[in-house]
Copies of this chain bind each other. A is one copy, B any other.
Amino acid sequence: MRMSELSTVTGVPVPTLKYYLREGLLHAGHRQAPNQAQYDDSHVARVRLLRVLREVGGVPVARLRELVAAVDGVTTENIDAMRAAAYALSPVPPRAGPDRQRAREIATAVIEAAGWARVSDDAPDRENLAAAIEVIVGFGTHEDRLSIIDEYARVADAVARFEVADLDAAAPRDALLAQLVVGQVVFGEMLASLRRLAEEHHSAVRFETE
């Protein structure tokens, strides 16, 4: 198919497709002449993945680039590509405050308590977790808030267990990673929405009846 057809099929304007090509987010079409190229289903799939990540996941284009590099890497094992994709979805942790070191220790303890032995030492979410814990520790006077973290970890474990089990191991890597990434982003957004809805309900119950 030609670019205009790719555009109509995906609903993405031609200039935007060109932009994605320039940015290396979309692989070039099969060149047939200096100014002619053919696109196929792999392009359609890639564009759809990019749009889901941008629109649903709010992933910035710079992140998409790293992520796409992981998806396209031919030399790495599946697990390495998946790890790279997962890392690309981690936000940049906020700058450390005075309690960060202590928070890091708590984070390590939480990960150990959850039994996540296969998490690598340089996983960026170790730092993100520490950053969140630092804020929680620094904000309230309640030390007992920390007891809830292991509870959260159990919840996360159950969710992740389901999602990983749901992956289709036989799928080609593109599809496998797309499934992982879409699962992470979309299910993550869904959980966030559900959480806000639940909070609206419970705060209404609490503050309207007092």
A199-B163 contact in complex given A77-B208, A152-B190, C-beta closer than 8 Å: yes
A196-B90 contact in complex given A118-B205, A202-B160, C-beta closer than 8 Å: yes
A196 close to B86 (CB less than 8 A): yes
Q: Does more than half of chain A's interface fall in helix, strand or loop, or is it mixed?
A: helix
Q: How far is the CA of A135 from the CA of B127 in the complex (A)?
A: 30
B86 close to A200 (CB less than 8 A): yes
Which residues of A in the span 23-73 have a Cβ within 8 Å of any Cβ on B? 52, 55-56, 58
Contacts of A207 in B (CB 8 A): 77-79, 82, 169
Interface residues on chain A, size class: 35 or more
| Min distance, Cβ A41 to any Cβ of chain B, angstroms | 15
B164 close to A197 (CB less than 8 A): no
* Chain A residues within 8 Å of B, Cβ to Cβ: 52, 55-56, 58, 77-79, 82-83, 86, 89-91, 94-95, 110-111, 114-120, 123, 125-126, 128-129, 131-133, 135-136, 139-140, 142, 145, 148-149, 151-153, 155-167, 169, 179-180, 182, 184, 186-208, 210
